[in-house]
Structure formats: structure tokens, C-alpha cells
Amino acid sequence: MANHKSALKRIRRNDVVRIRNRYQHKTTRNAIKKLRGETDKKKAQALLPDVVSMIDKLAKRNIIHANKAANLKSKLMKQVAAL
């Protein structure tokens, strides 16, 4: 158990941040799945900028690695172009 007031606050803060990160990551994963399941090219092209933006935000906040973000975006753009 923490012995200092600041350590107790840090524990509380870590929980808040962890829950927010989990929510953002899960939301992005669901958006990626939705985009991958899309068969209509126009709908996929409309979804792509939003999903790419979500991926960029995760990478910027170090929720996912920058290289993973680049790989995800590349694969999604290839898939949408192939529709």
C-alpha cells in the first residue's frame, strides 16, 4: 500500500487513465473491424478517414506503437483501394 498522499493520487490517476486508454483502444478496434467488413467502396472510403484519425490518436498517446499504427493504416488503405 502507498505511504504518501501523492502515491495514492497517482494510483487513482493511473486507474482513470488505464480505463480511458482501454475504451479508446477498444473503440478503435471495433471501427477497424467494421471497416474491414465493409463491402461497399463508397461506405469504406467514407469510414477510412475517421478510422485513420483514431489510429493516429492512439499512436500519438502511446497506446499503440507508431509502427503498428503505420501497418494498420497501410493495410486498411490497401483493402479499401482493392474494393
Q: How confident is the model at residue 63 (pLDDT cuts 50, 70, 90)?
A: very high
* Residue 6 counted as domain residue: no
The parent domain of residue 54 ranges over: 31-83
The structural domain count of the chain equals: 1
Average pLDDT score, the chain: 95
* Residue 7 counted as domain residue: no
This prediction has a pTM of 0.85
* Residue 19 counted as domain residue: no
Residue 3, pLDDT score: 84
* Residue 63 counted as domain residue: yes
* Residue 41 counted as domain residue: yes
Stretch 34-54: mean pLDDT: 94
| All residues at 6 or more sequence positions from 40 whose CB lies less than 8 Å from its CB, including other chains | 83
Cα–Cα distance for residue pair 9/22, rounded to 1 Å: 20
Cα–Cα distance for residue pair 40/62, rounded to 1 Å: 32
Q: How confident is the model at residue 82 (pLDDT cuts 50, 70, 90)?
A: very high
* Residue 15 counted as domain residue: no
Burial of 14 (0-12, 13-18, 19+ CB in 10 A): exposed
Helices marked H in 1-83: 5-36, 41-60, 66-82
